[in-house]
């Protein structure tokens, strides 16, 4: 990796900032641009950026993300912004001579009722979860762009664009909006506020029975770098031209009720937990089959309790209103 010029798109986001922390340990030249410096929805600006920066590798972690509420309320924004960001970056990277790119997908791209644990082959086999379908379709398009550019330009131009499918991510840098956040971030905020305000109970959306697999963000960053730099022959041997993404998970899931109680203990909240059955809760279960990446030599390093403690410590420094 020595002396590589690496662009991390979305470097201020949860995964992007973790990638920056990890890549800073290597002898590489990191390239970042905030929104004021580079509008990723502007095709001309993105193409100009890639033509002038001489980039060797791209980590495409930029995306509009949110929880169930945000996906339901802003479907047009989720499909438009994600489509335009990823198409701008992937195509401009190709025009700019970038040979290596890693696209970050999401486990929500899989069908709502996919067989559990979910294998990479499950993609596009049946209907998506309706609450995040626009986001999922946009991100699936990103994966298919990478595959399509590999198929058309791989041999003649040396294009090697890869994708990973991480399970539900949490950690420092997450979005803690009271309505637009993902499950772990939302629970941390609710339990923290209940503790600070001495509230008698915390109300959680859904029945608490649905199951989720969660992974600490630094493990996702490590997996991203691992897959990016995996020998091409090994990557090709373990994927297919039209099914090339690789799952990244921890190998176990737990109910929202179990997750809530674990977060409650980490935060030290002593009140009660109630579940609001009138609120949506998404797919009944979602755990990935991550045997492929584990067989390739990667495994998660951060335990759930350790990850939650680190996440809560970072949350307390935010001074959210």
Residue 300, classed as helix, strand or coil, is: coil
- The catalytic position among 7, 59, 135, 269 is 135
Q: At what angle do helices 14-23 and 217-228 cross, to 10 degrees?
A: 60
Whole-number Å distance between alpha carbons of 93 and 51: 8
- Single out the residue of 99, 98, 101, 91 nearest to residue 47, CA to CA: 91
Catalytic residue status for 176: no
- Residue 65 exposure: Cα atoms within 13 Å on the Cβ side: 26
Token pair in block for residue 264: 């409650």
Per-residue buried b or exposed e for 285-298, using 16+ beta carbons within 10 Å of the residue's own CB: bbbbbbebbeebeb
Q: Is the peptide bond before 170 cis (omega within 30 degrees of 0)?
A: no
Distance CA 2, CA 29 (A): 9
The set of catalytic residues is 135
């Amino acid at each position: 990796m020595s002396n590589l010029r690496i662009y991390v798109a979305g470097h201020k986001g949860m995964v992007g900032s973790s990638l920056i922390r990890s890549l800073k340990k290597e002898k590489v030249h990191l390239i970042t641009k905030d929104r004021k410096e580079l509008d990723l929805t502007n095709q001309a600006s993105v193409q100009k950026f890639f033509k002038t920066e001489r980039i060797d590798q791209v980590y495409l972690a930029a995306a509009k993300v949110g929880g169930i509420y945000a996906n339901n309320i802003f479907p047009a924004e989720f499909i438009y912004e994600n489509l335009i960001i990823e198409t701008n970056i992937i195509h401009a990277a190709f025009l700019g001579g970038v040979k290596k790119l890693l696209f970050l997908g999401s486990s929500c791209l899989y069908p709502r009722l996919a067989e559990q644990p979910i294998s990479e082959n499950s993609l596009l086999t049946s209907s998506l979860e309706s609450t995040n379908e626009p986001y999922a379709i946009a991100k699936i398009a990103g994966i298919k762009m990478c595959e399509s550019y590999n198929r058309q330009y791989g041999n003649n131009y040396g294009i090697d664009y890869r994708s990973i499918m991480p399970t539900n991510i949490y950690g420092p840098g997450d979005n803690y909006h009271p309505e637009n956040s993902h499950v772990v971030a939302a629970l941390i905020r609710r339990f923290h506020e209940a503790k600070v305000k001495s509230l008698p109970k915390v109300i959680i959306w859904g029945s608490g029975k649905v199951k989720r697999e969660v992974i600490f963000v630094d493990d996702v960053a490590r997996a991203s770098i691992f897959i990016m730099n995996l020998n091409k022959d090994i990557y090709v041997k373990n994927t297919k031209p039209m099914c090339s993404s690789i799952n990244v998970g921890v190998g176990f899931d737990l109910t929202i009720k179990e997750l809530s109680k674990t977060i409650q203990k980490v935060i030290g909240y002593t009140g009660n937990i109630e579940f609001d059955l009138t609120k949506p809760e998404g797919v009944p279960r979602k755990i990935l089959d991550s045997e492929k990446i584990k067989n390739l030599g990667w495994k998660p390093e951060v335990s759930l309790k350790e990850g939650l403690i680190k996440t809560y410590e970072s949350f307390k420094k935010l001074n959210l209103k």
